[in-house]
Amino acid sequence: MVNDWFDEDPFSLVTVVEGEGNQTVRQGCNIHRALEALASWDRSWRQRPLPVLSAHTISIKNNHMSDIMYGHANSRVLWIPRLFAPGNNYALVWYCRNLLMASMQVKSFRDFLVRADNLQRINSATRIGGYAREVKAILRNMEKGLKTYRTMSVCKQINNDAQLQRILSVYP
């Protein structure tokens, strides 16, 4: 039953839609601290040292010097100040929407595979085994950006998930 299980690791996506334009994020600056607070879910974000900015920066297409996607394993924060100007927010809204849909699809497929694997239901004799093969193919396409929305965020989401990678490598 699906209703007796819940995911202990939610995925969050935050898009900053208003602020002062062209503020570049630098190691240790207030914007870096805010991005870390939003991405880390750590209640002690004010006291702890900031991680290296580049270790949590995810490449985005058509980025400018001040654009950044910041994230941890289960979070993303978009900071694109060139789109803060009135009338440009629609681009942020669409970008966020597309990223949200792709991230949630990966998360949903990942959770299905993990649950099926935990219940030892992925094999050729079960219908779930067939679904798992289809899901694996879809995830591999998403990882490579083939026939789907392309973003390094999804690739990183798939590649940095050790449990998912184990499952993807074990089953044909």
The string of pLDDT tens digits covering residues 68-107 is: 999 999 999 999 998 887 776 788 888 999 999 999 999 9
Amino acid letter, 63: N
d(CA 129, CA 123): 5
- Which residue type, as a one-letter code, is found at position 52? V
- pLDDT tens-digit readout, 25-76: 999 999 999 999 999 988 898 888 999 999 999 999 877 888 999 999 999 9
The predicted structure's pLDDT at residue 1 = 40
Q: Is the model's pLDDT at 164 over the cut of 90?
A: yes
Q: Which of 118, 102, 126, 92 is nearest to 170 (CA)?
A: 118
If you compute the radius of gyration of the chain from its CA atoms, what whole number of angstroms results?
18
Indicate the helix (H) or strand (E) that contains 78.
strand 75-79
Domain ranges of the chain: 12-83, 101-170
Percent of the chain clearing pLDDT 70 (strictly above):
94
Q: Which residues in 119-145 are b (16+ Cβ under 10 Å) and which e?
A: eeebeeeeebeebbeebbeebeebbee
At 172, the pLDDT band (50, 70, 90 cuts) reads: low
